[in-house]
Structure 1
Amino acid sequence: MIEAINGQSLLGCRHYEVARLLKELPRGRTFTLKLTEPRKAFDMISVRSGGGRPGSGPQLGTGRGTLRLRSRGPATVEDLPSAFEEKAIEKVDDLLESYMGIRDTELAATMVELGKDKRNPDELAEALDERLGDFAFPDEFVFDVWGAIGDAKVGRY
């Protein structure tokens, strides 16, 4: 796991953000990578000790939550996606593969999260540009993502 490039911390960064930073490094110049073994990267996370009964705390170890590591703030446990979100993520991931030749469920999940409460494709396009502007998604792709999210909302699989 890459922890830092030239002293700039990459903790909490998505893989495409790390790739962009690596791509932007000047050719022919020396740079420093700080690497961490994957197991050691998670040593800081442990079950909280407390006086509560088992199961009263966060849903660690139940398989009903997702651990999110943040660059700012503590790691959190989030609920699993709903059936609608799972289907929408799957459809958006398929669109990513057909348009860009990549499969990235985390990127698809981010796109679904950004689009699930938007009222029209223009609002989705603005949200995607604001958060994922480096991708410069074409309008046709954004419209298809909007359709995939809408289909999943109403149960059209």
Structure 2
Amino acid sequence: MHQRIKEGSTIDRLKAVCVGDHIEAINDQSIVGCRHYEVAKMLKEQSRGTPFTLRLVEPKRAFDMIGQRTRAPKSSEGKLASGKETLRLRSKGAATVQEAPNEFEERATKKVDDLLESYMGIRDPELATTIVEAGKDKKNPDDFAEALDSVLGDFAFPDVFLFDVWGAIGDVKNGRV
């Protein structure tokens, strides 16, 4: 996790944990490859007053967790890229090239990321992108909530958050930014 640590939070009071540290395991359970919200959920589920352990990796060593680079297969079609792709690295599996988000997706993702921070105290552009992708073609809040539930049901977002996200996506869609 490479997130901002909120001032005055429990983690902020632990001087052994610094911004930039990567959590490798919680109670000896590896979280390498887990999404930010999955890690946040695991931490939230720890019983109050019960000790738990975090195994941390210093930032300079975090890249050791990424597998060796492999050469991409050469395209036989000679197709040129648009220049708007983004390279997505994963801890398990090959790296993939994805189309870069369009202007709508970028703006909507930024708004959703802001809402994630105000409601949950986290910034997670990847989670925000997943939320925008689930909701961008939905016609009403119920369809949106259903789509989000099928992709991120374990997270159990509060209804008020869902309505604010639905509104933010709608605002961007209708040019009211």
TM-score, normalization by structure 1: 0.71
Task: Assess if the C-alpha contact under 8 Å between 1:84 and 1:155 holds in 2.
Answer: no
Task: Assess if the C-alpha contact under 8 Å between 2:87 and 2:95 holds in 1.
Answer: no
- Identical positions, percent: 54
**Separation in 1 of the partners of 2:174 and 2:70?**
38
Residue type of the partner of 1:10?
I
- Within the candidate set 63, 69, 73, 1:39 is matched to 63
Task: Assess if the C-alpha contact under 8 Å between 1:114 and 1:128 holds in 2.
Answer: yes
Residue type of the partner of 1:48?
R
Q: Does 1:102 align with 2:122?
A: yes
**Separation in 2 of the partners of 1:9 and 1:58?**
36
Q: Which residue in the other structure is 1:20 paired with?
A: 41
Q: Does 1:156 align with 2:176?
A: yes
Matches for 1:1-157 after TM superposition, within 5 Å: 1-4=22-25, 8-22=29-43, 24=45, 27-28=50-51, 33=55, 37-42=61-66, 44-48=67-71, 64-69=85-90, 71=92, 73-157=93-177
Q: Which runs of 5+ in 1 are unaligned?
A: none
CA shift digits 1:7-31 (9 cap, x unpaired): 75533211231243355467357x7
* Aligned length, in residue pairs: 151
Deviation at 1:68, TM superposition (A): 3.9
Q: Which runs of 5+ in 2 are unaligned?
A: 1-21
Pairwise CA RMSD? 3.4
Deviation at 1:110, TM superposition (A): 1.4
**Separation in 2 of the partners of 1:114 and 1:14?**
16
- Change in Cα spacing, 1:63 to 1:41, as seen in structure 2 (3 Å) is farther
Residue type of the partner of 1:65?
T
TM-score, normalization by structure 2: 0.64
Deviation at 1:120, TM superposition (A): 1.2
Task: Assess if the C-alpha contact under 8 Å between 2:37 and 2:127 holds in 1.
Answer: no
